[in-house]
Amino acid sequence: MTDTTTTADPTRATAGAAPAAHGRMPDNLLRVADLDPTALALMLELSAAMKAEPLGWRAGLAGGAIGCIFEKPSTRTRVSLAVAAHRLGMTAVSLTREDMQLGHGETWADTARVLSSYLDAITVRTFEHRTVEQLAEVAAVPVINALSNDHHPCQSLADLLTLTEHFGALPGLTAAFIGDARGNTCNSFLEACAATGMHLVVASPASYDPDPELLASARRTVATTGGSVTTTTEPADAVRDAQVVYAEVWVPMDKPHEAHERAERFARHRVDHELLAHARPDTVVLHCLPAMRGQEITSDVLDGPNSLVWQQAANRLPTAQAVLHTLITERRG
């Protein structure tokens, strides 16, 4: 690791200035677990450096381009990736299925081969996680999961950066995730907490508990990092010792037909002042957004003094910048 990793100088920044440990960084970022604990810590370190000096990292990547494939609506992901690319001196090309020959029968594999000849990285926001894997299997450039039904790694990096800024360190922190524990946000936050040695309590209604394989994997990870993962159906129990409470939307984009059922099943899992009365007075609140105000979280909590949600959203930008810089420069060798 060089001095430029923490004190970026726009006149000296090079493609090798990122704090990447060769052999540790993955070729692609499809899920948080692709980053081992050391690589994850280095990615967060670079994110903080880029937040402090956002234009100090252009020299090595200037003139490059990334592709941003969106099959789902997007605000934070679309804008943060485009601005991150710009800050690195790169162009972001936004694409939808209708923009490409995917809409006319071309395969994901053929699309990956072609885009690899034009771009330095491919980001994709899609439904089936297998789509991201198919791109990564063929692409000659890094593939970054900008959200799939199963994982949301870029969001978890922003979550961890926000908590690091607020608490100073992650190991030993206790977080409560309230809501759908089978969704992409919880899946990624589960892996993130395990890798950083945090203690996570997941509170979800019966049948919405964490995926057994992901849960088992996280418990193997915490055996080496010193964290813990527990589950409950009782939100009040989950928040009692929590320093962090994470609220999540009840109805994901791919399940609008379940809206009525979920509203009934998750009614006790609203993050409001009544629930937070069981928590510590200084407990902070996270939400990945968009928030359905009055449903999974109330406006007075979302906009209240203990909310880190807007800081969390802002941190999507430096973490996206760090992911792009690290994976592209690592792949170039």
What per-residue confidence (pLDDT) applies to 4? 32
Contacts of 124 (CB under 8 A, 6+ apart): 68, 69, 70, 71, 131, 132, 135, 143, 144, 145, 146, 148
Cα atoms in the 13 Å half-sphere on the side-chain side of 49: 26
pLDDT in tens, 177-211: 999 999 999 999 999 999 999 999 999 999 999 99
Rounded CA-CA distance 100/290 in Å is 27
Q: Which domains does the chain have, with CATH numbers?
A: 3-151+316-332 (3.40.50.1370), 153-313 (3.40.50.1370)
Q: What is the pTM of this model?
A: 0.92
What per-residue confidence (pLDDT) applies to 3? 32
pLDDT in tens, 155-169: 999 999 999 999 999
What per-residue confidence (pLDDT) applies to 10? 31
DSSP letter, residue 130: H
What per-residue confidence (pLDDT) applies to 40? 97
* Cβ proximity of 48 and 41 under 8 Å: no
Residues of the chain short of pLDDT 70, as ranges, are 1-23
DSSP letter, residue 60: T
What per-residue confidence (pLDDT) applies to 5? 31
What per-residue confidence (pLDDT) applies to 9? 33
Tokens 């994850």 locate to 40
What per-residue confidence (pLDDT) applies to 293? 97
